Amino acid sequence: MKIVQTGEPVLREHTRPLSKTQIQSREIQTLIESMREAMYEAPGVGLAAPQVGVGIQLAVIEDKPDYTRDVEPEYLAERERKPVPFHVIINPQLSMQGPANVEFFEGCLSLPGFTACVARARKVKVDCLDHHGEAKVIEASGWYARILQHEIDHLTGTLYIDRMYTRSFMNVDNFTRFWKNKSRAEIKALVKRKP
């Protein structure tokens, strides 16, 4: 399954909701499995349907333990990053549980090779349907809350570059060289610095 790149019109469109019958269809269940495989192959922690060219309100999410196995515990603690099991969100309604004031770097599978600092809410609540079409409520904080906000943005035609601090935009190589292990305070100083 091909992940579409920035510039594709579907990434800038509002998506349509799905009914329970549609969710349970073979077509949507096959799409979910294909998206899961594409997310693993990339690799990534989330993938929204518009990123595979389908304009529906559906995203898959998983933050595998393998992704952070070699990461310093202090780094994970500061970012509040813990493994998140695979799940699907459909027709999500996002409620911020506080201001968008936690700044960290994000990337996107539809804009590979780059990253930028984005302010997100630390806690969120998401009312949605699961892959069976059953209602569920997700309350998330830290990195998981960031993933949810990023993926739900995709369902409204919004990319992280629309929310980024422009002074923080860089390629992944430079991020790894200069910023990967910086503290939140150091990152905040970067994004607040005047030109």
| pLDDT tens figures, 31-60 | 999 999 999 999 999 999 999 999 999 999
In degrees and rounded to multiples of 5, residue 105 shows phi and psi of: -80, 145
DSSP 151: H
Q: Say what the pLDDT of residue 43 is.
A: 96
pTM of the entire predicted model: 0.94
Q: Is 78 a catalytic residue?
A: no
Q: What is the mean pLDDT of residues 143-170?
A: 97
Q: Taking the domains of the chain in order of start, what are their residue ranges?
A: 9-96+120-161
Residue 140 CA: distances (Å) to CA of 148, 176, 179 = 8, 27, 26
CATH architecture of 9-96+120-161: Alpha-Beta Complex (3.90)
Catalytic annotation, pick one of 37, 106, 151, 186: 151
